[in-house]
Chains A and B, each alone.
Chain A
Amino acid sequence: MDLYAALTVAWRGLLANKMRSILTMLGIIIGVAAVIIMISIGQGASAQVTSRIASMGSNLLMVMPAASFGAVRGAGGQVNSLTLDDARAIGELPLVQNVAPEARSQVTASFGSRTWTTTVNGTTAGLQAIKGWQMTAGAFFSNDDVDRAALVAVLGPTVVANLFPSGFNPIGASITLNNLQFTVIGVLPSQGGGFGGADQDDVIYIPITTAQRRFLGQGVVPNSVRMINVQAQDTTSLTAVQEEITSLLRQRHHLGANQDDDFRIQNMTAVLDTVAAATGSMTLLLAGIAAVSLLVGGIGIMNIMLVSVTERTREIGIRMAVGATRGAILTQFLVEAMILSLVGGLIGVAGGIIGSKVVAMLAKWPTVLNPMAILLAMGFAALVGIFFGYYPARKAANADPIEALRFE
Chain B
Amino acid sequence: MAHPVIQLKGVTRVYSPGSNQVWALRGINLEINRGEMVAIMGASGSGKSTLMHILGCLDRPSSGQYLFANQDVTRMTPDRLARVRNREIGFIFQSFNLLSHTPAWENVCLPMIYAGIPRPVMIRKAMAMLARVGLKGREEHLPNQLSGGQQQRVAIARALVNEPSIILADEPTGALDTRTSIEIMALLQQLHQEKGLTIVIVTHEPDIAAYCERLVRIRDGQIIEDRPVPEPRLAARELAALPVEED
Q: Which residues of A contact B (CB under 8 A)?
A: 1-2, 4-5, 9, 12, 16, 314-315, 317-328, 401-402, 405
Contact = CB atoms under 8 A, between A and B. Distances in A.
A318 B99 contact: yes
Contacts of B114: 1, 319, 322-325, 328
B204 interface: no
B91 interface: yes
> How would you classify the secondary structure of chain A's contact residues: helix, strand, loop or mixed?
helix
Contacts of B79: 325-327
A323 B83 contact: yes
Given A401-B58, A402-B58, 11 more contacts: A1-B113, A4-B119, A314-B97, A318-B97, A319-B110, A319-B114, A321-B85, A322-B110, A323-B111, A325-B83, A405-B93
Contact of A12 (B56, B102, B158): B102
Contacts, number: 68
A178 to B, nearest CB: 88
Interface residues of B, number: 28
B82 A325 contact: yes
A321 B87 contact: no
B152 to A, nearest CB: 14
B87 A323 contact: yes
Given A327-B79, A401-B58, A402-B59, A321 B97 contact: yes
Nearest to B115: A323
A394 to B, nearest CB: 14
Interface in B115-166: 115-116, 119, 158, 162
Contacts of B195: none
Interface in B37-87: 53, 56, 58-59, 78-79, 82-83, 85-87
Contacts of A323: 82-83, 85-87, 111, 114-115, 162
B157 to A, nearest CB: 12
B116 A321 contact: no
A322 B91 contact: yes
Contacts of A327: 79
5 contacts: A315-B99, A325-B83, A326-B79, A328-B82, A405-B93
B110 A2 contact: no
B237 interface: no
B116 to A, nearest CB: 6
Contacts of B101: 16
Given A325-B82, A402-B58, A318 B113 contact: no
Contacts of A319: 110, 114
A320 to B, nearest CB: 7
